[in-house]
């Protein structure tokens, strides 16, 4: 193991890059599969001052190897230097960064900081009960990680094995992720709100050997029976050999033959564990997310590129500075938690807040009381929480001193004007920078955000605005042609690879190619629509596929439909997303019932419970409408577009309905919907 070199600040590196006016000699062998000059790509921009956002952006697009190579070399701690910066080709879905290099992600997130400043605080665990926060230093986190890594090894977890983590946000959950990274195992964190069936599906797809969980979780004053859910799940999972159970509460839970008390095991282990040297492109983690088909996909992120991208975006988008307390309130079960609670902040040696509670526990001032007490500098949250909180009024914010805040961020779904203005004016006192950040599980880190930018550049409300370095957006029309110029909207694609992007779907590269590289050959297709304003900024317009976003949680309409179709009385179901005041979107289901169903209310209740059991509570449709038939094209495809129009549009114009097999279905559904809307007495 090479002794870690202490990383120099990325700001310094960017300065250095710029002093060479973007014309750094390329020290390493460059790209092996370059693409031609794509539209929307920043050109050489000769007028841009060195070091400016535009100069750096142009360089990252023009010479990825010269941009990313030195950054990767100097930011990360390597065991073996890489020989090739990138080797990517979107036509074949080949994505590789920093080839030949070896490193360990946990060394980058822990050891390098322990060497320099062991007692600096890595994590502040903001527990469910306010005022009971726990601080964990880098030294302590390294020790815990090593004990957990040794425990995993003792339970026969080897390099390349998969480990499922089903835990609430906690230092032990972070240590579990880093312990996997330390020994070269691949973690898959499953959000602790998913049902036993969803958990089992993920464990089976990844063929996990071990599951790490807790006896119970605590959230918003409520107890979550996580161990019970794991018990139910592992019954369906033949690959699981052991369940490591940590204790969040004093409650004793029943322990079966696979179960082991994690704390006891860790206490027996050595607090040191030699890190595995991993190849840059070895898998670091899988994270399951929804697509347009019924089965969630396990996106694969790899070691070096992901870590560099998470660290760099964390620093530059949020203006993170040493000494700041970084507060991202996302759950570690989502990509936001991976990149901006764990990997990005820890790689930068930051103090990262782990938020276990909810925005309204014990009251609507919880976030702001936490900001004041922990002196949080950056606060990163989801628009759905902001929409909820603003309804409680400004007094809950004004009660607290929020002067420690410098940057506010929003993520996960479009932020509406009211929420943006409230966050900016009331929470940020009109003095904080507010960044609406667009990205995805697939992108690994933030791709479009108002910062970085030219010094003091404007921020337009509710807009992600500017591509990050190395991100080259391209807008496509319906026919798959690149749209030029400004004031246009279409499908959001990217023409060039960046280090943080996912490499494949676990066990199914064909699906990866199909989902992201087939609709627009040679480009990565995000699934979102976008508008490029007259000023050249990017504004996300929402998903263009059958994925909906409920409270910032992504779910495929097909997933909900598949769950509903398991009900014996429901031969068919079609689900659409409809606007919702707080959640952003809610699911609306159209169902067809078998003729012999006597009481549709009972079936509806059962359907809601089925969706909660098969997926998660958040995916349960708010509304269910019984119809005789679904509107189908002559080829048998359900026209969800038509259903959306019926529910969300006041106009009579339902668009082109000529492909419908039987147009009389429209009147049928319209009548059913009118009746449904009438108040029930
Ligand atoms: O539709 C976009 C929406 O969330 C999707 C990605 O969801 P997920 O993979 O769960 O990751 C969420 C956290 C990164 C995107 O395809 N989305 C994300 N951020 C924004 C957004 N929509 C509008 N504005 C955003 N800032």
Per-residue pLDDT reduced to its tens digit, 303-325: 999 999 999 999 999 999 999 99
Q: What is the CA radius of gyration of the chain?
A: 25
CA of 334 to the centre of ligand 1 (A): 11
Question: Which residue's alpha carbon is at the smallest distance from atom 23 of ligand 1?
Answer: 414
Question: Which residue's alpha carbon is at the smallest distance from atom 13 of ligand 1?
Answer: 412
Q: Is the dihedral of CA 520, 548, 343, 276 positive or negative?
A: negative
Per CATH, the number for 551-677 is 3.30.300.30
**Fold observed for domain 1-103+469-544:** Luciferase; domain 3 (2.30.38)
Residues of the chain with pLDDT > 70: what percent?
A: 93
Question: Which residue's alpha carbon is at the smallest distance from atom 7 of ligand 1?
Answer: 440
Tell me which of 525 and 597 has the higher pLDDT: 525
**Count of CB atoms within 10 A of residue 602's CB?**
11
Residue 679 predicted with pLDDT over 90: no
Residue 651: asked if its preceding bond is cis (omega within 30°), the reply is no
Q: pLDDT tens for residues 409-442?
A: 999 999 999 999 999 999 999 999 999 999 999 9
Ligand 1, residues at Cβ distance < 6 Å: 289, 335-336, 411-414, 436-441, 464, 526-528, 540, 543, 549, 554
Q: What is the dihedral of CA 624, 581, 296, 92, to 10 degrees?
A: 130
CA of 412 to the centre of ligand 1 (A): 4
What confidence tier does 25 reach under pLDDT thresholds 50, 70, 90?
A: very low
Q: What is the predicted pLDDT for the residue at 205? A: 97
Q: pLDDT tens for residues 80-123?
A: 999 999 999 999 899 999 999 999 999 999 999 999 999 999 99
User: What backbone phi and psi angles, to 5 degrees, belong to 98?
Assistant: 60, 50
Integer Cα distance of 365 and 379 in angstroms: 14
Q: Could you tell me the strand order of the sheet in which 121-126 lies?
A: 134-137, 121-126, 351-355, 325-328, 378-381, 407-411, 433-437
Question: Which residue's alpha carbon is at the smallest distance from atom 6 of ligand 1?
Answer: 440
Q: pLDDT tens for residues 644-678?
A: 999 988 777 788 888 888 989 999 999 999 998 88
Q: Do domains 137-279 and 551-677 have the same CATH topology?
A: no
CA of 376 to the centre of ligand 1 (A): 24
Residue 20 predicted with pLDDT over 80: no
Helices 53-62 and 10-19 cross at an angle (nearest 10°) of: 80
Q: Which of 171, 183, 272 is nearest to 214 (CA)?
A: 171
- Which of 524, 540, 555 best tests ligand 1's pocket when mutated (most atoms within 8 Å of CB)? 540
DSSP string, 561-587: HHHHTTSTT-SEEEEEEEEETTTEEEE
- Which of 413, 420, 494, 538 best tests ligand 1's pocket when mutated (most atoms within 8 Å of CB)? 413
- The secondary element (H helix, E strand) that includes residue 398 is helix 395-398
137-279 CATH, one of 3.10.450.350, 3.40.50.980, 3.40.50.10190, 2.10.25.10 = 3.40.50.980
CA of 342 to the centre of ligand 1 (A): 19
Task: Take residue 312 and report the two structure tokens written for it.
Answer: 């760099």
In the chain, where the domains are located: 1-103+469-544, 137-279, 551-677
* Position in ligand 1 atom list of the atom nearest CA 330: 13
Q: What is the predicted pLDDT for the residue at 636? A: 83
Is residue 255 within 8 Å of residue 261, measured between CB atoms?
yes
């Amino acid at each position: 193991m090479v002794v870690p070199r202490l990383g120099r600040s990325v700001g310094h590196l960017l300065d250095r890059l710029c002093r060479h006016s973007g014309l750094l000699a390329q020290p390493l062998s460059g790209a092996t599969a370059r693409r031609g000059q794509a539209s929307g790509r920043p050109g050489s921009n000769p007028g841009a001052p060195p070091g400016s956002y535009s100069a750096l952006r142009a360089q990252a697009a023009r010479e990825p190897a010269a941009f990313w190579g030195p950054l990767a070399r100097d930011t990360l701690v390597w065991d073996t230097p890489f020989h090739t910066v990138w080797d990517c080709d979107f036509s074949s879905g080949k994505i590789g960064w920093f080839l030949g290099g070896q490193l360990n992600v946990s060394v980058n997130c822990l050891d390098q900081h322990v060497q320099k400043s062991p007692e600096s605080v890595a994590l502040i665990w903001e527990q469910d009960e306010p005022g009971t926060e726990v601080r964990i230093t880098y030294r302590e986190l390294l020790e815990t990680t090593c004990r957990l890594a040794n425990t995993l090894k003792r339970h026969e977890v080897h390099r390349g094995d998969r480990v499922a983590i089903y835990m609430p946000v906690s230092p032990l959950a972070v240590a579990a992720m880093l312990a996997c990274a330390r020994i070269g195992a691949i973690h898959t964190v499953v959000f602790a709100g998913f049902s036993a069936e969803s958990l089992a599906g993920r464990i089976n797809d990844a063929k996990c050997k071990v599951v790490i969980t807790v006896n119970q979780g605590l959230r918003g004053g409520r107890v979550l029976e996580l161990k019970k859910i794991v018990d139910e799940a592992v019954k369906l999972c033949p690959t699981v050999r052991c369940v490591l159970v940590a204790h969040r509460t004093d409650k004793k839970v029943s322990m079966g033959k696979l179960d082991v008390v994690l704390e006891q095991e860790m206490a027996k282990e050595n607090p040191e564990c030699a890190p595995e040297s991993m190849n840059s492109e070895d898998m670091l983690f899988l994270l399951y997310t929804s697509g347009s088909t019924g089965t969630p996909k396990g996106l694969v992120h790899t070691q070096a590129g992901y870590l560099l991208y998470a660290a760099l975006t964390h620093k530059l988008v949020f203006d993170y500075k040493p000494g700041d307390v970084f507060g991202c309130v996302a759950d570690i079960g989502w990509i936001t938690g991976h990149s901006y609670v764990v990997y990005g902040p820890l790689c930068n040696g930051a103090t990262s807040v782990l938020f276990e509670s909810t925005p309204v526990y014990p009251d609507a001032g919880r976030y702001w009381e936490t900001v004041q007490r922990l002196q949080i500098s950056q606060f990163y949250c989801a628009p759905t929480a902001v929409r909820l909180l603003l309804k409680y009024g400004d007094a809950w914010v004004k009660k607290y001193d929020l002067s420690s805040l410098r940057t506010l961020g929003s993520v996960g779904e479009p932020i509406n004007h009211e929420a943006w203005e409230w966050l900016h004016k009331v929470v940020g006192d009109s003095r904080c920078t507010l960044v609406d950040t667009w990205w995805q599980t697939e992108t690994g880190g933030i791709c479009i955000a108002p910062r970085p930018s030219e010094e003091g550049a404007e921020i337009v409300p509710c807009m992600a605005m500017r591509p990050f370095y190395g991100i080259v957006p391209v807008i496509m029309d319906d026919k798959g042609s690149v749209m030029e110029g400004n004031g246009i909207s279409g499908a959001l694609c990217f023409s060039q690879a960046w280090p943080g992007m996912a490499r494949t779907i676990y066990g199914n590269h064909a699906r990866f190619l199909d989902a992201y590289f087939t609709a627009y050959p040679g480009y990565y297709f995000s699934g979102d629509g976008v508008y490029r304003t007259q000023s050249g900024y990017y504004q996300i317009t929402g998903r263009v596929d059958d994925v909906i976003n409920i409270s910032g949680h992504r779910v495929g309409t097909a997933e909900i439909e598949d769950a509903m179709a398991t009900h014996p009385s429901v031969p068919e179901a079609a689900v659409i997303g409809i606007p919702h005041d707080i959640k952003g979107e809610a699911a609306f289901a159209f169902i067809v019932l078998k003729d012999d169903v006597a009481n549709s209310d009972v079936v509806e209740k059962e359907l809601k419970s089925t969706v909660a059991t098969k997926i998660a509570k958040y995916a349960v449709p708010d509304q269910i409408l019984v119809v005789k038939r679904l509107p189908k094209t002559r080829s048998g495809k359900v026209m969800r577009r038509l259903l959306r129009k019926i529910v969300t549009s006041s106009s009579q114009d339902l668009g082109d309905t000529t492909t419908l097999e039987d147009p009389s279905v429209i009147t049928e559904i319209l009548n059913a919907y009118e009746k449904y809307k009438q108040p029930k007495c």
